[in-house]
Homo-oligomer: A and B are copies of this chain.
Amino acid sequence: MDAKQIHHGKESASCPMDFILRMLMGPWTTYILYNLKTHGPQRFGELKRRVAGISAKMLTERLRTLEGASLVRRDYEATIPPKVTYSLTQRGHELDDVLGKLAEIGMRWEAEDAALRAARAAELKAAE
């Protein structure tokens, strides 16, 4: 769906995780998935308020992409005003483990880096 994919589309067919990473990679995608996971099904406006800073355009586009990949379901109720609820599909939930593991690794690295910085700072202070 992006030009990038078209651009080297043939090569990327060889790597199955490429597709999935491309899906997760949008700047806001992880926030959206994270919010849908932790706060459950939500309406468009709710989601937009939670994912602070995102524009309606971007949110729409990301949700459409996720919907196209069957990671998110869109339930439209033609009430007035209309009510559109987004939720994770089964596929969306299949990513829970991996995202959890990634978050864990991310946090571990963050902690390690912080410890390293602290140690270095202490070292500097001692040398001074």
Contact = CB atoms under 8 A, between A and B. Distances in A.
Interface of A: 4, 8, 11, 15-22, 24-25, 27, 30-31, 34, 52-53, 91, 94-95, 97-99, 101-103, 105-107, 109-110
A2 B95 CA distance: 26
24 contacts: A4-B27, A11-B31, A15-B30, A15-B103, A16-B106, A16-B110, A17-B30, A17-B34, A17-B99, A17-B102, A17-B106, A18-B30, A18-B31, A19-B106, A19-B110, A20-B102, A20-B105, A21-B25, A22-B27, A24-B25, A91-B109, A94-B105, A97-B101, A98-B102
Contacts of A99: 17
**How would you classify the secondary structure of chain A's contact residues: helix, strand, loop or mixed?**
helix
Copies in the complex: 2
Contacts of A109: 20, 91
Contacts of A107: 16
Nearest to A16: B106
